[in-house]
Amino acid sequence: MHCGSLPEDSPLRRLHRRMTVCAIVIAWWLWPSMALTQDLTIPGQRALTDVEEIELVYAGSQPSPKIIVRGRQTANSFILSSHRPSEDRLDLATQAEIEQPIGSCQTTRVGLVPPLHLQIAHQGTAPCGVTWSLQKADQHLDALSFQTLRLRGATSQPLTIEFVDGLAGHSQAHAVVERLTGPFALEIPLASLARHIDLRHLRQIRLLTETDADVVVEELAFLEPASAPHSTPATGFWYWDYRSAIRDPDAMLATCRKQHCRRILLQLPDMRETDQTWEAYAQLFAVTKSADIELFALDGAPDMIDHATPLIEKLDRILALTGNRRLPGVQLDIEPYLLDGFPEDDTIFDRYLDTITRVKTALQGRATLSVVIPFWFASTIHRQRPLAFSVMDRVDEVAVMSYRTEVDELIAISDDILRYGALARVPVWLAIETTALLPERHVVLKREPRAALADGVLDPTRRTLSLEPPGQGKVPGKDHALWFRIHHRTTIRPERISFSGRTEHEVQHTITDVFARIHHSSFSGLVIHDLPGYLALTR
């Protein structure tokens, strides 16, 4: 129902807001008593005997939650914080402390003033050398903002220099920087190094040799790039209704022009659509190009990681219809974490990355490949590598679901991806949400051996979770049952994530603020989810 818009600061609008807040609060307080009478079925195939944590996600007033089960969790690699230098040049040799020699060798430091002069006496057959720590006050070094490693000095014998990261709960990764011989004066791009280790968590440097060596290090420093020029950021819109776009492309373009939009990301038609629909969609590329607007073909679904063939058939069809022309781009929005096996099934992300590679190969360079990722992929470690960075290594650009209404928070959650994009020269679009969202209530239960404190029991054989108050006469361990206790509840408020219900002026002010404050060379602009949601904002 459309009731018209209210003046921004009218008493009636303030009353409406207060009533909405009160309704949400009342629903939240009533909800636990209802939820604790539920019997829930756990989806999926994984065995449940080793479950340590269960998360229930209730959207709005829905009585049935999405259920996520987890085994014993490894330590969060980002609990150990990193020191991020503010200077544009960081001298590593002068501030580092030499540690114990590596392997069977003796190391002597000649003199206490720069340059660093080391004499390495090799013993045995294995490589040996020295290490020095890059940690500061128990914090690792965050070097992701630097662009180059500068090396100057000399070595009497071949010398290998490598970096080691220190992600907590994960195997340490090593990356060989260079094998040096004789006098050396090098500036090494850090982009290739960043494909092997996490530059946000550098722990130490190692110098290794296979024989006696006399080493002088005159300079060993990280350098930030000079102010890197970058293109003026733009705005774009996601648009899912391809039938409306085909039926009235002028209306779509008029809206885009009015909002100074430079890109539209439009859902690909279903393969069962008629030839006429597909031909009309293909014609939109020429129509948008004449309006100086990029059209990206958009598609994606979680199950595509196992069924990529229909997606590739779609791409083959649109490429055939456009002839020899190069398309502006194709964007994938797959969201594999919505699958039932997440997060326990490690192969989900393997299949996800493989699908991206398959699509990249199928495009054969005829379109820019863009992939939508959530901001938290930057802190998700998969195969000893941040997942966001693994995606960025495979694609031409990314769009980050940085859905926040506060600019400070939006910038903070996107910063690592923007920094990696600047280093790897991968364009990064950020995103804001304008569609209406339901409040989400998250309930996390953890294993509890004491029956009197339990809030529910899991039957791993029947795959049922019974939420009930303690004292129901059941015994932990009987019939392999497992007891769980509510550890915490949280509510995700829609107004923190979406601009729905706010004014167009507020969104435009946020866009202007973001454009003024982000100076990374990778930043390409903001894409808005979505066109109908934006048009529904009050004027």
Ranges 7-11, 113-117, 198-202, 516-520: which has the least confidence: 7-11
Helix orientation angle between 407-424 and 504-517, rounded to the nearest 10 degrees: 40
Task: Kindly tell me the sign of the dihedral angle through the C-alpha atoms of 90, 93, 99, 100.
Answer: positive
Ranges 50-59, 130-139, 400-409: which has the least confidence: 130-139
Pairing verdict, β 234-239 and 523-529 = parallel
Q: Which of 501, 519, 335, 523 is nearest to 405 (CA)?
A: 501
Residue boundaries of the structural domains of the chain: 11-73+440-492, 89-223, 234-437+496-535
| pLDDT tens column, 45-73 | 778 888 999 999 999 988 889 898 888 75
Computed over every residue of the chain, the mean pLDDT equals: 86
| pLDDT tens column, 87-127 | 999 998 776 566 667 777 888 888 878 888 999 998 878 88
| pLDDT tens column, 420-467 | 999 999 999 999 999 999 999 999 999 999 888 899 999 998 899 998
Q: What is the maximum span of the chain, computed from C-alpha positions, in angstroms?
A: 84
C-alpha neighbours within 13 Å on the C-beta side of residue 326:
7
- Cβ partners under 8 Å of residue 202, min gap 6: 134, 140, 141, 142, 143, 163, 164, 165, 166
pLDDT exceeds cutoff 80 at 8 = no
- Cβ partners under 8 Å of residue 435, min gap 6: 498, 500, 529, 530, 532, 533
Strand partners of residue 98: 132
- Cβ partners under 8 Å of residue 48, min gap 6: 42, 69, 458, 460, 463, 482
234-437+496-535 carries CATH number 3.20.20.80: yes
Helix orientation angle between 275-290 and 309-321, rounded to the nearest 10 degrees: 60
pLDDT exceeds cutoff 70 at 267 = yes
Bigger pLDDT: 169 or 457?
A: 457
What is the pTM (predicted TM-score) of this model?
A: 0.86
C-alpha to C-alpha distances, 161 to 101, 117, 215, 431, nearest whole angstrom: 14, 15, 12, 40
Question: 89-223: what fold?
Answer: Jelly Rolls (2.60.120)
The whole-number average pLDDT for the span 384-404 is 97
